[in-house]
Amino acid sequence: MIFDFQYLLDFFSANGIIKSIEICTIRHRLLKVIMSKEKMTVARAMVKCLEAEGITKIFGYPGAAICPFYDEIYNSKIQHILVRHEANAGHAASGYARITGKPAVAVATSGPGATNLITAIATAYMDSIPIIFITGQVNSFQIGKDVFQEADITGAAEPFVKHSYLVKDADSVPRIFKEAFYLSQTGRPGPILIDMPFDIQKQEVAFKYPKSVDLRSYKPSTFGNKLQIKRVIEAIKNSKKPLICVGGGAFFSNSQDKLARFSSRCEIPVVSSLMGVSALPHTHPMNFGMLGMHGVRTANIAAKNCDLLILLGARVGDRAAAAIKESEDLKVVHIDIDPAEIGKNIDADVPVVGDLSLILDQILELAPELKHEEWVEKLNSFKIIEQCDYSDDGYVHPKLFINKLNEGLPKNSIIVSDVGQNQIWTAANLHLDGGRFLTTGGMGTMGYSLPCAIGAKSADKKAEVIVICGDGSFQMMFMELATMIQHNIDVKIILMKNNKLGMVRELQTKGYGDRQIAVCLDGSPDFIQLAKAYGISAESINENSQVEGAIKSLIESKKPYVLQVIVDENQRTIIS
Amino acid sequence: MQKNDNNLNRHTISILVENRAGVLARIAGLFARRGYNIDSLAVGVTDDESVSRITIVAQGSGYTLEQIEKQLNKLIDVIKVKTLSSGRLTSRELLLIKVHANAQQRAEIMTIAEIFAAKISDMSTESITLELSANAERLANFEEILRPYGIKEIVRTGTIALEKGPSALKL
């Protein structure tokens, strides 16, 4: 095309059609066109794409097949955070994305590097987190020949991605990146995988980052259907005992404030799913805690007794749905960005598909001021809690610990729990005003918390970021202590140690006649010594009386810190 | 948790998809991992070269069908999904069947072919290959009648279908 243009110019000037001064102007413009489609390697173009998306940090683990890309990271301003296992790159990206509200990037090499990512991809998929996963792949002409470190990662990850790309030609790279970022963060957020063969990374491409995407097959809805919104308002007006159940969607659509306004104006109590914990400040009078199999009593009583259930960005997984009693008298309003979630786990009388934030705007436009004093009073009466036995017996009571932590936490703290008893103790008792509670509610991936916290702290350097994990989960992720140290990411860790895989132990106690098998963690190292080996200050406590002081030291520490909390191995998950 | 709708019905689902590598794998994988069974599958390009049309016949309850449609719609490469209503569709499969046929049997088989409006696509001293395009029931009938002669080999395509009347599944 450039040659054609040159030819035309020569032709015009030779025939006196345009003057030489005009030729100069045209040449100048032509040069601009050429400049805007700069030739470069695909590897460089990949980095340019990330820069165009405003990416400043990526999490990853290199290998041979992704070397051309890493070589370009060397030249760029993007900071690379080297994790110690590929899955943790994905979890760190998850924490980063959840705090920034924008897609994050995790990178691994081909074969085992890519397959190690799968758990993180699946976790992001279940928890609806926008992450761009970039994997190196063997040379495109070798694909299918079972060469060294080859794995069909797009095939293997297919059930867990919102979409994936196996890049086949250099020219498609800018479009693919643009689409990937767009897809991951619009509609229901989710992971996108880009598999990048080695030879293609080294090919040349005329780089121009597209301004928009053109996907005829993908048009996520935004506003809710007006008629349905009216039906929602009618349902609220007709209800005597309405209840809101909020899920992770509140964070993705950034509608926490609107939720607070909505529940206040119509005086509707709010319970949350595990993913929705901390969407409403604890001090909000309408907050009644987490529902579900492991939820708090008041929330479950509310769910059993309400006559209108308004699900806001909650897919109601099986463990939350267990708390809801479907009956003729119960009306269900389900508001979600993903139409496939509506009617999947619970029947909806009034389905509304769209972006929660926009739909709440629509609702707030029409919703009248309402009072449900009797209903709220009744629920409040259940809030009065029996006193636990906090006598000193050589263990720290987890509920007392979380209560004391609530008192000691600075505003806007980010608490990341792992999976198991520690997760339930935290989710059920944590009181946050501002800040975030992060956990993997959907996938329940052990070893998620520390890498997630590393990502969260990388996204918000000012926030206090604290991991709460068990000794089981800690041993799935403590290699990431090195990542923290190497990159000066000051995450603090509360390690609830009971020398057991507590949640499974509890299942065996209750459901299998206490025939405990494969739940004892004998052989674990001395975690205090381990922390010290990484140069991290650490303390261990085993009395309730030590809790306050220990939390103070933890919060006041300016450096990473490990607080080991010795918990009774017979402690239950549900503690009133 | 759902209303009971366990009546298993056969559904013909038409899907317009981007004509790209890997799309069929995504759709087949979705059916497999969500526990939906595929009875028949046919894929071909449409008048727009960038679009393929997939026709899937699957069994399931109303709930399953709704979930299939929604999950298919979530795939980025899927442009449109429509379940064709059973009473209002024209459906066809193509059958190729090779039967034993010596000189004596040949005329008989050719008469059957004529009745069914099947074509003879190949013939040898001991076999005839017939070709018939029809709906599934008619093909089954045809096959039964030819069975006594000895079926050497049989192959049939998946069902393709269009809705009757002027409405069309378009982008």
pLDDT, tens digit (0-9, with 9 covering 90-100), for A248-278: 999 999 999 999 999 999 999 999 999 999 9
CATH architecture designation of domain B90-161: 2-Layer Sandwich (3.30)
Task: Tell me what pLDDT residue A9 has.
Answer: 55
Q: Which residues pair with B100 in a beta bridge?
A: B127
Same-domain pairing of A7 and A87: no
Name which of A378, A322, A313 is nearest A345 in CA terms.
A322
Say if A524 falls within a structural domain: yes
Name which of A434, A430, A497, A487 is nearest A464 in CA terms.
A434
Say if A487 falls within a structural domain: yes
Task: Tell me what pLDDT residue A559 has.
Answer: 95
**CB neighbour list of residue A547: distance below 8 Å, 6 or more residues apart:** A396, A400, A401, A404, A541
User: A346 vs B33: CB contact, 8 Å cut-off?
Assistant: no
User: B26 vs A158: CB contact, 8 Å cut-off?
Assistant: yes
Phi/psi of residue A565, nearest 5 degrees = -115, 115
**With an 8 Å Cβ cutoff, is A261 touching chain B?**
no
The average pLDDT across A537-548 equals 96
Q: Which residues pair with A243 in a beta bridge?
A: A309
What is the least distance, in Å, from the CA of A187 to any CA of chain B?
10
Identify the helix (H) or strand (E) that includes residue A136: strand A131-137
Token readout for A488 is 């000066």
Domain span at residue A31? 2-36
| Lowest-confidence pick of A178-192, A206-220, A312-326, B128-142 | A312-326
Widest distance between CA atoms in chain B: 64
| Nearest CB to A340; choose among B1, B71, B76 | B71
Say if A78 falls within a structural domain: yes
The average pLDDT across A240-246 equals 96
| Lowest-confidence pick of A420-429, B58-67, B116-125 | B58-67
Contact A55, A219 (CB under 8 A): no
**With an 8 Å Cβ cutoff, is A299 touching chain B?**
no
**With an 8 Å Cβ cutoff, is A325 touching chain B?**
no
Percent of chain A's residues with pLDDT above 90: 83
Say if A219 falls within a structural domain: no
Instruction: Report the C-alpha gap between A511 and A439 in whole angstroms.
Output: 26
Q: Give me the residue spans of the domains in chain B.
A: 9-84, 90-161
Same-domain pairing of A510 and A485: yes
Token readout for A398 is 């987890």
The average pLDDT across A288-314 equals 92
User: B1 vs A321: CB contact, 8 Å cut-off?
Assistant: yes
Percent of chain B's residues with pLDDT above 70: 96
Confidence of residue A1 (pLDDT cuts 50, 70, 90): very low
Name the percent of chain B in helix, strand, coil, to the closest 5: 30, 40, 25
pLDDT in tens, A28-53: 666 555 556 779 999 999 999 999 99
| Domain of residue A463, CATH code | 3.40.50.970
**CB neighbour list of residue A459: distance below 8 Å, 6 or more residues apart:** A95, A96, A99, A100
- What is the rounded end-to-end Cα distance, in angstroms, of chain B? 35
User: A345 vs B71: CB contact, 8 Å cut-off?
Assistant: no
Say if A66 falls within a structural domain: yes
Instruction: Report the C-alpha gap between A508 and A505 in whole angstroms.
Output: 5
Identity at A453, one-letter amino acid code: A
DSSP state of A76: S
Q: What ipTM was estimated for this complex?
A: 0.88
A163 neighbourhood in chain B, CB within 8 Å? 76
Same-domain pairing of A199 and A262: no
Name which of B128, B157, B90 is nearest B119 in CA terms.
B128
Confidence of residue A224 (pLDDT cuts 50, 70, 90): very high
The average pLDDT across A59-73 equals 98
Task: Tell me what pLDDT residue A570 has.
Answer: 92
Q: Does pLDDT of A393 surpass 90?
A: no
Q: Which residues of B67-101 are buried (b: 16+ CB within 10 A; e: fewer)?
A: bbbbbbbbbbbbbbbebbeeeebebbbbbbbbbeb
- The full length of chain A comes to 576
Contact A185, A163 (CB under 8 A): no
Say if A561 falls within a structural domain: yes
| Lowest-confidence pick of A58-72, A321-335, A457-471, B69-83 | A321-335
The average pLDDT across A142-171 equals 96
What is the least distance, in Å, from the CA of B115 to any CA of chain A?
45
pLDDT in tens, A560-573: 999 999 999 999 88
DSSP state of A326: -
What is the least distance, in Å, from the CA of A352 to any CA of chain B?
15
Identity at A520, one-letter amino acid code: C
Q: Does pLDDT of B1 surpass 50?
A: no
Instruction: Report the C-alpha gap between A301 and B37 in whole angstroms.
Output: 40
| Nearest CB to A217; choose among B18, B25, B26 | B18
User: B22 vs A154: CB contact, 8 Å cut-off?
Assistant: yes
CA A243 to chain CA mean position, Å: 26
Same-domain pairing of A492 and A526: yes
Same-domain pairing of A446 and A326: no
The average pLDDT across B123-149 equals 95
Instruction: Report the C-alpha gap between A518 and A512 in whole angstroms.
Output: 13
User: A338 vs B73: CB contact, 8 Å cut-off?
Assistant: no
**SS3 label, residue A497:** strand
DSSP state of A520: B
Put simply, the chain B residues between 93 and 152 with a CB less than 8 A from any chain A CB are: none
- Taking CA–CA distances from A217, the nearest residue in chain B reads B79
B21 neighbourhood in chain A, CB within 8 Å? 168
Confidence of residue A65 (pLDDT cuts 50, 70, 90): very high
Same-domain pairing of A247 and A353: yes
Is this model's pTM higher than 0.80 or not? yes
| Lowest-confidence pick of A152-156, A212-216, A314-318, B114-118 | A314-318
CA A543 to chain CA mean position, Å: 34
Identity at A266, one-letter amino acid code: C
With respect to CATH, is domain B9-84 assigned 3.30.70.260?
yes
| Domain of residue A314, CATH code | 3.40.50.1220
Same-domain pairing of A59 and A29: no
The average pLDDT across B37-50 equals 94
User: A347 vs B1: CB contact, 8 Å cut-off?
Assistant: yes
Instruction: Report the C-alpha gap between B82 and A101 in whole angstroms.
Output: 35
Same-domain pairing of A199 and A164: yes
- Taking CA–CA distances from A324, the nearest residue in chain B reads B1
Same-domain pairing of A489 and A538: yes
> Most B CBs within 10 Å: which of A214, A217, A326, A342, as the mutation test of the B interface?
A217
Say if A212 falls within a structural domain: no
The mean pLDDT value of chain A amounts to 92
Same-domain pairing of A237 and A183: no
- Taking CA–CA distances from A327, the nearest residue in chain B reads B1
| Nearest CB to B77; choose among A155, A217, A344 | A217
Residue with tokens 């308004």: A310
| Lowest-confidence pick of A316-320, A469-473, B83-87, B145-149 | A316-320
Token readout for A548 is 């306050």
Say if A32 falls within a structural domain: yes
**SS3 label, residue B86:** helix
**With an 8 Å Cβ cutoff, is A175 touching chain B?**
no
pLDDT in tens, A474-486: 999 999 999 999 9
- Position with higher pLDDT, A320 vs A397: A397
**With an 8 Å Cβ cutoff, is A194 touching chain B?**
no
Instruction: Report the C-alpha gap between A105 and A176 in whole angstroms.
Output: 14
Token readout for B154 is 């049989």
* Domain count across chain A: 4
Instruction: Report the C-alpha gap between B80 and B99 in whole angstroms.
Output: 41
Instruction: Report the C-alpha gap between A42 and A55 in whole angstroms.
Output: 17
**With an 8 Å Cβ cutoff, is A169 touching chain B?**
no
Among A355, A383, A411, residue at a domain's last position: A383
| Nearest CB to B2; choose among A215, A216, A347 | A347
Number of other residues whose CB lies within 10 A of the CB of residue A195: 23
B76 neighbourhood in chain A, CB within 8 Å? 162-163, 183, 215, 217-218
Q: Does pLDDT of A10 surpass 70?
A: no
Identity at A559, one-letter amino acid code: K
A492-497 and A561-566 beta bridge pairing: parallel
Q: Which residues pair with A106 in a beta bridge?
A: A59, A133
Instruction: Report the C-alpha gap between A280 and A288 in whole angstroms.
Output: 10
DSSP-H helix ranges across A355-501: 356-366, 373-383, 398-408, 421-429, 449-459, 471-474, 480-486
- Taking CA–CA distances from B80, the nearest residue in chain A reads A217
- Taking CA–CA distances from A165, the nearest residue in chain B reads B22
What is the least distance, in Å, from the CA of B95 to any CA of chain A?
32
- What is the rounded end-to-end Cα distance, in angstroms, of chain A? 75
Phi/psi of residue A286, nearest 5 degrees = -90, 0
**With an 8 Å Cβ cutoff, is A216 touching chain B?**
yes
Contact A302, A291 (CB under 8 A): yes
- Taking CA–CA distances from A188, the nearest residue in chain B reads B74
Q: Does pLDDT of A379 surpass 50?
A: yes
Same-domain pairing of A517 and A490: yes
Same-domain pairing of A320 and A459: no
